[in-house]
């Protein structure tokens, strides 16, 4: 193979991620030359023990491992953040739906109670009218049967 590319998803925001490509091999020459011009961060220069080729091989191995690990971690973080946001939206929708259903239930329950009260009141009024009006066997006052 001439080149080795790594493709993964990287988080772009709290809820989104985007595909990313990174060329792993061959090493980027501009990156290497920029790195070579930077001063060493401490006063102690590293000392290479053993073969320079073996050290370079080990460093490239570590670079590849860290690049793969970082890609996996970023991809997993982006996926989990997106899933968490979707679950939070679903939870919010469920809460809103539950609130609407509870409100509707209470309205229907109140309507049922009101209807029963109206039935009781109208029944009471009908019975009150019947008991206050003279019946067919009642006579007028002062007349005995």
Going residue by residue through the chain, which has 145 residues, state the pLDDT in tens, using 9 for 90 and above. 689 999 999 988 877 889 999 998 888 888 889 988 999 889 888 888 889 899 989 999 999 999 999 999 999 999 998 899 999 999 999 999 999 999 999 999 999 999 999 999 999 999 988 887 766 655 555 555 4
Closest CA to 88 of 80, 99, 78, 98: 80
Give the 3-state secondary structure of residue 14: coil
Distance CA 99, CA 108 (A): 14
Residue by residue, DSSP assigns 51-114 as: -HHHHHHHHHHHHHHHHHHHHHHHHHHHHHHHHHHHHHHHHHHHHHHHHHHHHHHHHHHHHHHH
For the question of whether the overall pTM of this predicted structure is more than 0.85, the answer is no
**CA triple 119-121-123, angle to 5 deg:** 65
pLDDT (0 to 100) of residue 43: 86
Distance CA 63, CA 135 (A): 107
């Amino acid at each position: 193979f001439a080149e080795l590319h790594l493709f993964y998803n990287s988080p772009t925001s709290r809820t989104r991620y985007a595909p990313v490509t990174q060329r792993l091999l061959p090493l980027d020459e501009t990156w290497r030359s920029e790195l070579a011009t930077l001063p060493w961060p401490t006063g102690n220069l590293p000392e290479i023990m053993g073969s320079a080729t073996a050290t370079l091989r080990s460093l490239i191995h570590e670079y590849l491992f860290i690049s793969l690990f970082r890609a996996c971690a970023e991809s997993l973080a982006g996926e989990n953040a997106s899933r968490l946001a979707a679950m939070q939206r679903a939870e919010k929708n469920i809460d809103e739906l539950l609130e609407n259903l509870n409100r509707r239930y209470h309205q229907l329950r109140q309507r049922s109670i009101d209807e029963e009260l109206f039935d009781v009141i109208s029944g009471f009024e009908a019975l009150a009218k019947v008991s206050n009006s003279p019946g067919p066997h009642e006579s007028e006052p002062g007349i005995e049967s």
